[in-house]
Amino acid sequence: MIETIIEVIVAVLIGLGAFLSLVATFGVIRLPDIYTRNHAISKSTTLGIMLILIGTFLYFWLIDHHFNSRLLIAVFFIFVTSPVSGHLIARAAYHSGVKLWEKSKHDDIKEHKSSAEEM
Amino acid sequence: MKNNDVILQVTTKVIVFIIVLFSIYIFFAGHYTPGGGFIGGLMTSGAIVLLLLTYDIKTVAEMLPLDYKLVAAAGLFIAAATSTGALLFDLPFLTHGYWEIWLPILGETGLHTAVFFDTGVYLVVVGVTLTIIQTIGVSE
């Protein structure tokens, strides 16, 4: 009985993680410019992969009775590094002059840069 | 253009310790689980490459004042010495042994000489990888 409950929880976690990764992929295909794509991929896949890894960890821990601490380290590692890589990609894109979507209204960095140059 | 790498630098400070710890774990776990000297060495050099990406080559040389060619040479020496050490006991080349030895903190510990050979592999991999990367990095 308890094993069935655990397996259902693990299945929900892994299914949700896979679904979030799929949603992120659709975001990359459908969104208009690099910043919105980056927004979709860096957040959704981080959470998706973390959910998949937590599900795997729970399965090995509660069904196989094997506490795999490497999976916990991997969850922490992805949680720390993946948003930072998204930040670096977006920053590199902005500084190498990738244009925003033509319907975007507001560019804070541009205003900040021009006001800093005037001073 | 002004550079402002605060986020990358702070993340690197946290992450490098995890990578080095994991590479040491992989190195020591190599006898019973997947891993060993080669992967551990590559992962350690990966951590140092992350430092090289974040800081410049001089800062990393100040952090880790090592000549990586000497590291590779030391690794080759350790591997060769472990292999030829078997000849002293009138055994064939590359015969490995197993002892229970007493260590100050750990007490009775099983020691297999294959660990020394793996240490040699580890040092050679770290030395060769970082020599290649630093040589490519400084040439203009």
Q: Who contacts A57 (Cβ-Cβ below 8 Å, separation ≥6)?
A: A68, A71, A72, A75
Whether residue A70 and residue B15 make contact (CB cut-off 8 A), yes or no, is no
Q: Does residue A114 have a pLDDT over 80?
A: no
d(CA B29, CA A74): 17
Domain chopping of chain A, boundaries? 1-118
pLDDT in tens, B53-105: 998 888 888 988 989 999 999 999 999 999 898 888 888 888 888 877 788 88
> Lowest-pLDDT range, A20-24, A33-37, A97-101?
A97-101
d(CA B103, CA A69) in angstroms, rounded, equals 27
In chain B, which residues touch A (CB < 8 A)? 1, 7-8, 11, 14-15, 18, 22
- Residues A37, A41, A42, A48, Cα dihedral to 10°: 160
Residue carrying structure tokens 């981080």: A46
Q: What is the overall mean pLDDT for chain A?
A: 90
Contact A71, A57 (CB under 8 A): yes
Helix axes B114-138, B37-54, angle to 10 degrees: 30
Nearest to B21 by CA among A77, A115, A6, A61: A77
Q: Give counts: helices (H), strands (E), chain A.
A: 4, 0
- Among A70-79, B9-18, B91-100, which is the least confidently predicted range? B91-100
B12-34: average pLDDT: 92
A-side interface with B, Cβ within 8 Å? 70, 73, 76-77, 80-81, 84, 87-88, 95
Q: Which of A26, A21, A23, A81 is nearest to A51 (CA)?
A: A21
Q: What is the pLDDT of residue B1?
A: 42
Q: Which of A25, A8, A17 is nearest to A71 (CA)?
A: A17
Q: Where are the alpha helices (DSSP H) in A31-64?
A: 34-62
pTM: 0.85
- Which tens digit of pLDDT belongs to each residue from A40-58? 999 999 999 999 999 999 9
